[in-house]
Structure 1
Amino acid sequence: MNVRFDLDPSVTPELRDDICALWADVSNAGGAVGFLPPVTREDIRPELLKHLTAMAEGRERLLVGRDEDGRILATAFLTFNGHRLMNHWLWVYAVMVHPSLQGQGTGRRLMTAVADAARGFDGITGIRLTCRGGTGISRFYEACGYKEVGRVPGAIKVADDDFRDDITMWLELG
């Protein structure tokens, strides 16, 4: 499927609803994007509103991937680092690809679009993200050029008896 990536789309009610729907679909399919299934769009809406507020304040940018009908099938929030000694790199959050597109190259294209967008921001030399251990997703990020630079064992609790590592990944922009 052809997915077109756009940076900083207009924030409309449709955009908010589409991102909520994507986030719920990814979460309910087992994606490690900050929620545990089952979740509803209403469970996700407050977290999305935090990101949209940061966008309105100029602290975040949004990258979306859309199909030919305009439906949002991929997202990533690029968050500027506010610390004066670390403002040369940014964070990436809520990296999502619709479950129907998993394994078809859309995720790699999304991460390429993230890196391309970051290169276009003045002074940005690196990208940092975290991912949940035990999912295999760190191998995906490594295949996209990221390297593991840190790990906090058992930092993420997904069930009473299931603790996962919080893995920090880094991409040096060249």
Structure 2
Amino acid sequence: MRFVLDPEMTPELFEQLLHCWAEVTNADGAVGFVPPVTPDVIRPTAEKAFARTRSGGGPAAPDRLLAGFGDDGEVAAWLILADNDSLLRAHWRWVLRVMVHPKHQGRGYGRALLRAADDAARSIGLEALQLTCRGGTGVDAFYASAGYQEVGRVPRSIRLAPGDERDEIYMIRWL
């Protein structure tokens, strides 16, 4: 897989990222939506998210898109390194929307994506990466195996449906 920090946001790339997001959601990925979804449901959120990236919003945009492309040149995995809008916290970024297209899952692409995020963060002078994940999915164990440590959780703060609340788990990785 080939990783690119701040790839040019062409209409084709936008659609690939959007469709990946929908496919991940519909495969029960915890990336901000509850299945079933269509790309059109995600589109307004994606437009806002990508407008904040240098890929979609120009060189002054605060966030960074990291995209992984498979051998076929299509998006296989991606995430956003999001600015936290604070000079006091300029040494770290949030890791948002970590996803691997379902057809590529189980091949180590998720771990490769996190390693590429570490490398990208170091290349722009960062010292740490933070993320949140949805409790009850087991993904916190994956992040722990990649060097993230849990630093807190907010019980029942994510509501998937009435009566189905999950913890939001806060994790950090010092680089």
- What is the TM-score of this pair, normalised by structure 2? 0.94
SS across alignment from 1:93: strand
Where 2:19 maps in the other structure, the secondary structure is: helix
Partner of 1:131: 133
Matches within 5 A, 1:53-132: 53-55=51-53, 56=57, 57-122=60-125, 124-132=126-134
| 1:156 match: secondary structure | strand
Query: CA offset at residue 103 of structure 1?
Result: 2.1
Q: What is the CA RMSD across the aligned residues, in angstroms? A: 0.9
**Which piece of structure 1 moves more, 145-154 or 48-57?**
48-57
Q: Which amino acid aligns with 1:107?
A: G
Q: Which runs of 4+ in 1 moved over 6 A?
A: none
Could you list the per-position Cα deviations for residues 35-74 of structure 1 after superposition, in whole angstroms to 9, with x for gaps in the alignment?
0001000111111111121111421010111112211010
Q: Which moved more, 1:94-103 or 1:34-43?
A: 94-103
How far apart, CA to CA, are the structure 2 residues paired with 1:27 and 1:170?
A: 24
Please give the secondary structure, in 1, of the residue aligned with 2:87. coil
Q: Which runs of 5+ in 1 are unaligned?
A: none
Q: What is the distance in 2 between the residues matched to 1:102 and 1:145? A: 20
Residue 52 of structure 1 is matched in structure 2 by 50
Aligned identity (percent) is 49
| 1:4-43 deviation line (CA, Å, top 9, x unaligned) | 1111110000011000110000000000000000100011
- Give the number of aligned pairs: 170
Alignment deviations for residues 86-127 of structure 1 (CA, whole Å, 9 cap, x no partner): 1111001010001122222110000000010000113x1100
TM-score calculated relative to the size of structure 1 = 0.95
2:149 pairs with 1:147: yes
